[in-house]
Amino acid sequence: MADSAQAQKLVYLVTGGCGFLGEHVVRMLLQREPRLGELRVFDLHLGPWLEELKTGSRWGSLWRGGCGRFPIPSQAGIPTPAVEQMILVSVHMDGIRPVRVTAIQGDVTQAHEVAAAVAGAHVVIHTAGLVDVFGRASPKIIHEVNVQGTRNVIEACVQTGTRFLVYTSSMEVVGPNTKGDPFYRGNEDTPYEAVHRHPYPCSKALAEWLVLEANGRKVCGGLPLVTCALRPTGIYGEGHQIMRDFYRQGLRLGGRLFRAIPASVEHGRVYVGNVAWMHVLAARELERRAALMGGQVYFCYDGSPYKSYEDFNMEFLGPCGLRLVGTRPLVPYWLLVFLAALNVLLQWLLRPLLLYAPLLNPYTLAVANTTFTVSTDKAQRHFGYEPLFSWEDSRTRTILWVQATGGSAQ
């Protein structure tokens, strides 16, 4: 067993660390990982919020030391992306402990950039991905980022000797499938015909398979790679852009949203803070429980209620002044199908001029209209996961965020 937590100074790498989920994972690690010595935040687009780390305003961290552009040690002459290193003194329950935060602007599709970022890391939490179900990116790009990017992360772990990899997968690896079969309060062992056509779920399913298949491969140094995949359902919380889009749409429509999906269609949702916590815990326990956790998948879950996608959103948009009109869908389903198809045609026609990517398309309509909920305790049984945030707390935090954005672009 490794030294005590206080003595260990581990290097964590979070890919996609500036994304909706990634940012919460970064903050959770800074707050709740006592073994953290260096935190590498790797992303194609580094967020301005990283600048706040200098003031330490968010976590009681104190800023110490300069922030300059330092090249991370090049590996065998591999060119390294520009990095920004900040030294943080994080105040934790266990006392004051210095944490180095290294912001790395890089691309997971570039194997050499990934290898440079992974080199020397103890754990990789791989959240980077192209979450596109709206036709913004081509299938080729989605595959490049989500599949080849994941392959690059795996190979970097093997080449550089990093042994622990937690991958952010998705419920969509399972479903809803192309037949629209419901998945009603299922778990990791529930039989379900996971058949996909859309580029996004196909890419997530292949990437997850690669991660699980890599479990047990010998890394540089001869020890085995230990991997697991976490499958969040629809994540909500501070920073959820789709929630913000619904809020802005409602404001434009005079404080109203119009029901399009039957209230009986249940959708699994999970608070971003609990998803982040599950990632931190899985990364911590993967070493100690390698035999049990290695090669496993875990749905992300918490106490969020089972509701239709629209009714669930109203838990937050209602207290922000919006009203969902209709107890039943106000538009016949065939008309929604027609409008979704029309959106695809418009997207294709307008593509030479502008990117038209509305929420409604045949895929999003099918997903929204298909029950998909999980009921499981596998993460609790395997690595002691319990949600960190209650439903009430998750709801309050999300409402406060929606109110704070006020429908703005932030």
Ligand X SMILES: NC(=O)c1ccc[n+]([C@@H]2O[C@H](COP(=O)([O-])OP(=O)(O)OC[C@H]3O[C@@H](n4cnc5c(N)ncnc54)[C@H](O)[C@@H]3O)[C@@H](O)[C@H]2O)c1
Ligand Y SMILES: CC(C)[C@@H](O)CC[C@@H](C)[C@H]1CC[C@H]2[C@@H]3[C@H](O)C=C4C[C@@H](O)CC[C@]4(C)[C@H]3CC[C@]12C
> What is the set of active-site residues?
200
- Check: CB of residue 211 under 8 Å from CB of residue 165: yes
Residues 162-201 that bind ligand X (CB under 6 A): 168, 170
**Would you state the torsion angle of the CA atoms of residues 137, 140, 143, 149, taken in this order, to the nearest 10 degrees?**
-90
- CA–CA distance from 280 to each of 14, 90, 139, 345 (Å)? 11, 17, 31, 42
Q: Residue 244 is encoded by which pair of tokens?
A: 């913000």
| Of the candidate residues 10, 14, 19, 75, the single one contacting ligand X (CB under 6 A) | 19
43 has which bridge partners? 105
* Region near ligand X per CB under 6 A, out of 20-28, 79-87, 89-97, 336-344: 20-28
Stretch that binds ligand X, among 102-110, 217-225, 307-315, 339-347 (CB under 6 A): 102-110
**Min separation Cβ 6 and ligand Y, Å:** 36
The count of chain residues that interact with ligand X, using the rule CB under 6 A, is: 25
DSSP string, 114-168: HHHHHTT-SEEEE-------SS-S-HHHHHIIIIIHHHHHHHHHHHHT--EEEEE
Both tokens of 260, joined, read: 């399009």
Q: Which residues pair with 227 in a beta bridge?
A: 165
Both tokens assigned to 337: 């199908």
Question: Measured from the CB atom, is 89 or 141 closer to ligand Y?
Answer: 141
User: Which of ligand X, ligand Y, none binds 84 (CB below 5-8 Å, type-dependent)?
Assistant: none
Give the type of residue at 236. Answer: Y
Within 10 angstroms of residue 89's Cβ, the number of other Cβ atoms is 16
| 89, containing H or E segment | strand 83-92
Distance CA 43, CA 84 (A): 12
Q: How far is the CB of 346 from ligand Y (least distance, A)?
A: 15
Q: Residue 135 binds what, of ligand X, ligand Y, none (CB under 5 to 8 Å, by partner type)?
A: none
Binding-site member from 56, 176, 232, 273 for ligand X (CB under 6 A): 232
The site map against ligand Y for 94-133 (x = CB under 6 A) is -------------------------------------x-x
From ligand Y, ligand X, none, interface partner of 45 (C-beta below 5 to 8 A by class): ligand X
CB of 328 to ligand X, least distance (A): 26
Q: Binding string to ligand Y for residues 209 to 238, with x set by CB under 6 A, is what?
A: -------------------------x----
Could you say which of ligand X, ligand Y, none residue 111 binds, taking C-beta under 5 to 8 angstroms by partner kind? Answer: none
Tell me the number of residues near ligand Y by CB under 6 A. Answer: 17
Report what 21 binds from ligand X, ligand Y, none; CB cut-off 5-8 Å by kind.
ligand X
d(CA 307, CA 292) in angstroms, rounded, equals 33
Does residue 43 contact residue 22 with C-beta atoms inside 8 Å? yes
Do residues 177 and 148 lie in contact, with contact meaning Cβ atoms separated by under 8 Å?
A: no
CB 299 within 8 A of CB 376: yes
The one among 38, 172, 302, 311 contacting ligand Y by CB under 6 A: 172
Contact residue for ligand Y among 67, 344, 359, 400 (CB under 6 A): 359
Residue 374 makes contact with ligand X by CB under 6 A? no
DSSP string, 295-361: TEEEEE--SPPPB-HHHHHHHHHTTTT-EEE-SS-SS-HHHHHHHHHHHHHHHHHHTTT-----S-S
CB of 87 to ligand X, least distance (A): 24
Residue 133 or 251: the one with the smaller Cβ distance to ligand Y is 133
> Which range binds ligand Y by CB under 6 A, 96-104, 117-125, 345-353, 357-365?
357-365
Residue placing its CB nearer to ligand X in the complex, 19 or 135: 19
Q: Which does 282 bind (CB under 5 to 8 A by kind): ligand Y, ligand X, none?
A: none
Query: What is the binding site for ligand Y (CB under 6 A)?
Result: 131, 133, 170-172, 234, 242, 260-261, 309-310, 359-360, 364-365, 367-368
Query: What is the binding site for ligand X (CB under 6 A)?
Result: 16, 18-22, 43-45, 107-109, 127-131, 145, 149, 168, 170, 204, 232, 234-235
